Chain A
Amino acid sequence: MFENIRLSFKGIFSHKVRSFLTMLGIIIGIAAIIAIVSTIKGTNEQIKSNLIGSGNNNVNVAVYQGEWQMDFQYQSPPEGMPVISDDVKKELENIKDAETVSLYRQRTYCESIYHMNTSLEGGSVYGIDENYFSAAGYRIKSGKGFGERDFKGTQKTVIIDNKAAESLFPGEEPVGEIIDIMGEPFKVVGVAVQSSKFEPVINTYEDYQLYNQDTSSGKIFIPTNAWPVIFRYDEPQNCIIVAADTDSMTAVGKAAEEILNGTISVQDESIKYKSENQLERAESLQKLSDSTNTLVICIAGISLLVGGIGVMNIMLVSVTERTREIGLKKALGARKKVILGQFLTEAAVLTSIGGLIGIVLGIVLSQLISKFADVPVAISSVSILVSVIFSMIVGIVFGLIPSVKAANLNPIDALRYE
């Protein structure tokens, strides 16, 4: 076997130009596949990191009517949707792989938020519990967070995010100031920012629309106890759950949906708790990009097929050229399988070298693509391994006919061949 490989290399290098031309089909095919797969993988990883980004693994479970999340700024809370009880919350906390559970209420585009005469147009108001900031991935930038006191009684305190801070307090320090929400004065105790430094990579306007879901002009957070002061006390809550890892997000979301939907008895059956996690979104987006690219991979695969036929052709020529050699070897006692092995090895070595060159070319190509087309690439080690094995298989499959032909040569005819 080792001897065969050594001889194959010798044979291939003694016909450099011919061997290279034979390999070309394999080289192009493998390079194309590596480049495409790397680009797909890069795009997919970008989608995933853009959407999951912060690495917070949180799953949002909110009240939906059909396809749309309900917003109680404009809709009245439906009958039969009770406030989530402590028991239910405990159940949520006991879901496998659920780490933190936070309940919150939310209103978007709340128009009555003022500091002096400055209004926060299109801001959102959140009524949050003690777990919200850690679950949703916020940290306090200045001032302080809500303490135990804020969740007892009805403290009219507020934390605003940095966007709201910029709008309401341009060039000023907001901590300690009073803002006015729905006519009620609230004292700003802190400024919160999204804790991850993550910025989605945005190349196109479509990407911007896709990733930039946060269209509000700012968020302000008040303790959930203070919610009834300005809004309804019985508004349904949403829920945010941190899963142990990215892969368990979907399962955790589904489990939470089930528990929460078990507590409601709404007439309109389209109103339900629904979980939405970014992993699912990422996966569905990836599927979209995968299916369009499968076609391209198939086309690159055809190049491998053509390359394989080229290998078969040159191997047939090689068998004819070496008829005397084969005859001699048989006369000296080489059995059929020895001859078969020799030619199969040669074909496999030929295509494997082609495959290796193809991989190098493919990596170079994908780096060039990433540089000039501004598309992310991620070289996949699996695709490299598969390419090597596949090019070897191409060699063996297409080398089979010539090798069998060589093995079955009659030694007398072969020796007499001129």
Chain B
Amino acid sequence: MVLELREIYKDYMQGKDAVPVLRNINLSVEEGEYLAVMGPSGSGKSTLMNIIGCLDRQTSGMFIFDDTDISTCKDKELSEIRNRKIGFVFQNFNLLPRQSALENVELPLLYAGVNKKERRERAAEALVKVGLEDRMNFRPTQLSGGQKQRVAIARAMVNSPRLLLADEPTGALDTKSGEQVMELFRELNDEGVTIVMITHEREIADHAKRIMFIRDGELSNLNGGDSL
């Protein structure tokens, strides 16, 4: 088991009132799974992703990631889990604009304390894997959207994480680039990488092996309606 959410609740404070965002979420993700979580905006899917990504904490309930109870972790330990066990892919890539593709991919290794030579090698390897061996020294501004997202995927995978967590990975891409990214995800999953992807597009979610729906903070196996 990669992760398990048990009776997760999350409230946000708005002034003095607690606004519930997630209600009684129960979810477990097995090794090698490819899960898509679908939901409209405001459904709480981003909050869910933040909790799974150890960027935010639940109000109540239990979150176990890779046999660790996350609620007991301190900031330092959370940083380490994010660094070594989770690879993030964001909608808007979040690459550092003044650094080359290679340097961007090296970043998680830098925080993991890997030495320079090994960083270079492993980052280059990751870029080869996403098919960008001829773009290593390009800056993000010199790359297309699809290429940028592939750099981001290389960065997510460079530390061989337990989980690839993607938030609307195709949201900022044209259809063709989006398809390429999905193709890459499928390949990674075939190699055994566990993937959780958040999206609001049915076509994208269909690439996953399992789809969950989130609506008004509640998770279900069923599509809550055709309004998506």
Contacts and interface: CB of A to CB of B under 8 A. Distances in A.
Given A333-B112, A412-B50, A328 B84 contact: no
A411 B107 contact: no
B55 A335 contact: no
B107 A329 contact: yes
A412 B56 contact: yes
Interface stretch (B24-32, B72-80, B141-149, B188-196): B72-80
* Interface-centre pick from A330, A332, A415 (highest chain B CB count, 10 A): A332
B43 to A, nearest CB: 16
B75 A331 contact: no
A332 B90 CA distance: 12
Interface in B57-97: 75-76, 79-80, 82-84, 88, 90, 94, 96
A335 B56 contact: no
A10 B98 contact: yes
B128 interface: no
B108 interface: yes
Interface string B148-172: 0000000100000000000000000
Contact of B82 (A3, A10, A332): A332
A331 B82 contact: yes
B53 A333 contact: no
B82 A336 contact: no
A324 B92 CA distance: 11
B111 A331 contact: no
B94 A335 contact: no
Interface size class of B (residues with CB under 8 A): 20 to 34
A338 B112 CA distance: 11
Contacts of A411: 55
A14 B53 CA distance: 33
B110 interface: yes
B172 to A, nearest CB: 14
A334 interface: yes
A325 interface: yes
Nearest to B96: A325
Interface string A1-39: 001000000110010000000000000000000000000
Contacts of B96: 325, 328
Residue of A10, A324, A412 ringed by the most chain B CB atoms within 10 A: A412
Nearest to A3: B110
A248 B83 CA distance: 66
Contacts of B98: 10-11, 14
B55 A334 contact: no
A334 B75 contact: no
A333 B94 contact: no
A249 B68 CA distance: 76
B125 to A, nearest CB: 18
B90 A333 contact: no
B161 to A, nearest CB: 10
A325 B93 CA distance: 11
Interface in A376-418: 411-412, 415
A347 B53 CA distance: 31
A324 B55 contact: no
Given A324-B94, A412-B50, A332 B55 contact: no
Nearest to B50: A412
Contacts of B94: 324, 328, 331, 415
Given A325-B96, A328-B94, A328-B96, A333 B111 contact: yes
A264 B82 CA distance: 89
A389 B50 CA distance: 43
Interface string B93-136: 01010100000000110111000000000000000000000000
Given A3-B110, A324-B94, A412-B50, A332 B155 contact: yes
Contact of B83 (A14, A324, A332): A332
A333 B80 contact: yes
- Which of A329, A331, A334, A336: most chain B CB closer than 10 A? A331
A338 B55 contact: no
A412 B94 CA distance: 13
Contacts of B56: 412
Nearest to A335: B79
Contact of A331 (B55, B76, B80, B112): B55
B149 to A, nearest CB: 14
Contacts of B112: 333
Given A325-B96, A328-B96, A415-B94, A334 B50 contact: no
Contacts of B50: 412
B76 A333 contact: no
A332 B75 contact: no
A212 B154 CA distance: 82
Contacts of A331: 53, 55, 82, 88, 94
23 contacts: A3-B110, A10-B98, A11-B98, A14-B98, A330-B79, A331-B53, A331-B55, A331-B82, A332-B83, A332-B88, A332-B107, A332-B108, A332-B155, A333-B79, A333-B82, A333-B83, A333-B84, A334-B79, A335-B79, A335-B111, A411-B55, A412-B56, A415-B55
Interface of B: 50, 53, 55-56, 75-76, 79-80, 82-84, 88, 90, 94, 96, 98, 107-108, 110-112, 155
List the 8 closest A-B pairs by CB distance, nearest first. Answer: A333-B83, A333-B111, A328-B94, A335-B79, A333-B82, A332-B108, A411-B55, A334-B111
Given A329-B111, A330-B82, A335-B79, 14 more contacts: A10-B98, A14-B98, A330-B79, A331-B53, A331-B94, A332-B82, A332-B83, A333-B83, A333-B108, A334-B79, A335-B75, A336-B79, A415-B55, A415-B90
